[in-house]
Amino acid sequence: MNAMGQEIADYARELRAFIGQYDLPSNWFEVVDHVAFKYKDKAECEAAIKDFRKMSSQITAVHLNNRQLATAQLQLSLWIGDFGAAKWIEIMEPRPERVGQDIVGLEHLEFYYPNFGEITEALDSKGVLYEIQSNPGHNWVNIVINSTGQELKLNDRMLGDVVAHELVTGESHVI
């Protein structure tokens, strides 16, 4: 197993343990949207984009919070343990002010589950800390699942739909 495969396997185990610890509903995790990797700096992010270009049918980029976020539509899916497979990957450059502070590697996994009322009610009842976050493309419930800062995100819009919209509006471009 390569390093990325090992990170994904480790994350899937951590997430499964977190779900079990709080007895979270399994239907929240039926639709894997994408996996996100954050790199230590701009140069590593650019190198990752170059590597993913070989495995992707398309890579787009958007500038947000003084950094580049790239999305790759993979030709082959990434298997995420017993959660299923992801066809999209987010390639994240850290915010300039956070270089050296943010997690490096697999930062989060996103699932499509847009019923935020149900999610927040359940999380509140179980004492799970979360934040509702957004950017111009979509909204999500953000939950830190372990001491290393890895996150689980439950979103209201699939990344492929966000990318398609951003391409039409000119917010992102193919790289």
The total number of structural domains that make up the chain:
1
Question: Cβ(162)–Cβ(138) under 8 Å?
Answer: yes
Q: In tens digits, what is the pLDDT along the chain, a chain of 175 residues?
A: 688 889 999 999 999 999 999 999 999 999 999 999 999 999 999 999 999 999 999 999 998 878 889 999 999 999 999 999 999 999 999 886 767 677 899 999 999 999 999 999 999 999 999 999 998 889 999 999 999 999 999 999 999 999 999 999 999 999 9
Question: Which CATH number fits the domain that encloses residue 53?
Answer: 3.10.180.10
Residue 88: closest CA among 48, 51, 59, 64: 59
Q: What is the pLDDT of residue 121?
A: 98
Given this model, what pLDDT does residue 4 score? 87
The backbone torsions φ and ψ at residue 128, rounded to the nearest 5 degrees and listed phi first, read: -90, 125
pTM for the full predicted model: 0.92
List the domain range (segments joined by +) for residue 18. Answer: 3-174
